[in-house]
Amino acid sequence: MDFNDSPDEAAYRQQVRDWLDANAPKARVAGDPEGGDGMAASKAWQAKKAEAGYACITWPKEWGGQGGTPVQNVIFSQEEAKYPIPGNPFQIGLGMCVPTVMTFADEETKKRFVGPALRGEEIWSQLFSEPSGGSDVAGARTKAERAPDGSGDWIISGQKMWTTGAQFSDFGIVITRTSPDKPKHKGLTMFWIDMKDPGVEVKPIHQMSGGSGFNEVFFTNVRVKDSQRLGAVDDGWRVSLVTLMNERLAVGGQTGAGWQQFMEAARNTPGLDGGSALKDGALREKLADWYVQAEGLKHTRNRTMTALSRGQTPGPESSIGKIISAVQMQELGNTAIEMLDQYGIIDDPELASLNGAFHFSLMFGPGLRIAGGTDEILRNIIAERVLGLPGDIRVDKDVPFKDMPTGR
């Protein structure tokens, strides 16, 4: 038991370090990563990685990858993170959308899209969630109907929601309702679409936290070719499972201020007895709990990495991360704010401690507890897929979609 690379891993890490040393940016580009200079820098870095085979390490060589292992991918990410690299708006496309295209599209389509996506020339969005359903993806209502002119084309109408990066995306994959007469899982079809098509309208969502990282996407009679279909008609649920399976492999680390920042803030805040708030037993106990959780997650990632390193499929332990980290983000932010007493209400970055990082945690935490699988859905996943408990009794499985009750 140790934390060392195997000889092969060490050699790969050295190769990556040498390449990064020669090629990685030395200074961070200022500006919004979602536009302007930031985007240009992101695209330039992506192109450089693609040229050297580091953009999608695990992809086959014929598609621009290295045919590498998941461990090599992790090693590259670890080393890359040591440099002031620009933001990565390609993750959803390369991690989920393009692999779906690669699995279900014809050769011509693959040849057209894989290279430009790999090189960062084109950005992809995943259009699954809707106003009427986020956790329940199979409840999608956005319609796709055959064009009445007999061309075989499809006409898409409806609305998607919580689409990350839609405002700067070139293409997307969209799940639609093609057969409302069939039960919900059996009447869905997947398409790729051009986000610049007439009838596609992107509107940013104003989040409760004040920012706008996600979008609503409206489809008004958007015409697509039958050749844009991914998988068979009404087989879109199976296609979406391929997309979402890739989502599970995207592992996140700590978000927002952590126990270190809390400890520093407590040290610098007056406590109840006139000394430092860091002497407060109640706060110390919470600090210990957060440290233990953060360490637990870190070493859980080390266990996952070990499984990959041994050529095994990581166990279900990797599914616990967000359940812990999102709740901790919200709780830690709130505890820090209450520690400040009356002053805690001030979130002006000029006045608030750590430029308002704790206030950000408080206001963004609720979103993190929902995005990418709610706390509740993640518990269902653990219960059903890890522990093998039965799925919920489904009242919607065999009912034609059009006859299902709908609320708000």
Partner 1 sequence: MNFDFSDDQKSLKGEARKFLGANCPTSRARGVLENSAAGYDAELWKSVAAQGWLGAAIPEEFGGLGLGHLELCVIAEELGRAVAPIPFASTVYFLAEAIMLAGDDEQKADLLPRIAAGEIIGAIATSEGPGATTAATLQSTVTDGKLTGVKIPVTDGDIADVALVLAKEGGKPGLYLVELRGEGVTREAVKTLDPTRDAAKLTFKDAPVRRVGAAGAGIELVEQVFDRAAILIAFEQCGGADRCLEMAKEYALERYAFGRVIASYQAIKHKLADMYVKNELARSNAYYGAWALNTNAAELPVAASAARIAASEAYWFASKENIQTHGGIGFTWEMDCHLFYRRSRQLSLVAGAPRVWKERLVSHLERRNAAAA
In the complex, the residues that contact partner 1 under the rule CB under 8 A are 1-6, 9, 71, 260, 263-264, 278, 281, 284-285, 287-289, 291-293, 295-300, 302-303, 305-307, 309-310, 317, 320, 323-324, 376, 378-380, 382-384, 386-393
Neighbouring residues of 92: CB distance < 8 A, sequence distance ≥ 6 = 124, 125, 126, 164, 165
Angstrom distance (rounded) from CA 82 to CA 85: 8
Q: Shortest gap between Cβ of 78 and partner 1 (angstroms)? A: 10
Angstrom distance (rounded) from CA 214 to CA 165: 7
Q: Shortest gap between Cβ of 376 and partner 1 (angstroms)? A: 7
Q: Shortest gap between Cβ of 128 and partner 1 (angstroms)? A: 23
Closest CA to 217 of 263, 174, 186: 174
Q: Shortest gap between Cβ of 263 and partner 1 (angstroms)? A: 7
The structure tokens 């209400």 sit at 345
DSSP symbols for 135-175: S-GGG---EEEE-TTSS--EEEEEEEEEEETGGG-SEEEEE
Q: Is 222 exposed, middle or buried (0-12, 13-18, 19+ CB in 10 A)?
A: buried
Handedness of CA 381, 100, 237, 188 (dihedral sign): positive
Q: Shortest gap between Cβ of 260 and partner 1 (angstroms)? A: 8
Q: Are 265 and 358 in contact (CB under 8 A)?
A: yes
Q: What angle, rounded to 10 degrees, do the helices at 7-23 and 70-80 form?
A: 40
Q: In this complex, which beta carbon is closest to partner 1, that of residue 201 or of residue 317?
A: 317
Angstrom distance (rounded) from CA 26 to CA 30: 13
Q: In this complex, which beta carbon is closest to partner 1, that of residue 225 or of residue 394?
A: 394
Q: In this complex, which beta carbon is closest to partner 1, that of residue 120 or of residue 373?
A: 373
Neighbouring residues of 125: CB distance < 8 A, sequence distance ≥ 6 = 92, 93, 97, 163, 164, 165, 166, 169, 171, 172, 173, 195, 217
Neighbouring residues of 376: CB distance < 8 A, sequence distance ≥ 6 = 135
Q: Shortest gap between Cβ of 74 and partner 1 (angstroms)? A: 9
Q: Shortest gap between Cβ of 272 and partner 1 (angstroms)? A: 17
Q: In this complex, which beta carbon is closest to partner 1, that of residue 41 or of residue 339?
A: 339
Q: In this complex, which beta carbon is closest to partner 1, that of residue 176 or of residue 330?
A: 330
Q: Shortest gap between Cβ of 346 and partner 1 (angstroms)? A: 26
Q: In this complex, which beta carbon is closest to partner 1, that of residue 88 or of residue 254?
A: 254
Q: In this complex, which beta carbon is closest to partner 1, that of residue 168 or of residue 291?
A: 291
Q: In this complex, which beta carbon is closest to partner 1, that of residue 52 or of residue 292?
A: 292
Q: Shortest gap between Cβ of 362 and partner 1 (angstroms)? A: 23
Q: In this complex, which beta carbon is closest to partner 1, that of residue 379 or of residue 402?
A: 379
Angstrom distance (rounded) from CA 174 to CA 269: 50
Which residues does residue 171 pair with via DSSP β-bridges, in sequence order? Answer: 124, 194
Angstrom distance (rounded) from CA 91 to CA 77: 12
Angstrom distance (rounded) from CA 285 to CA 81: 32
Q: Shortest gap between Cβ of 353 and partner 1 (angstroms)? A: 17
Q: In this complex, which beta carbon is closest to partner 1, that of residue 112 or of residue 394?
A: 394
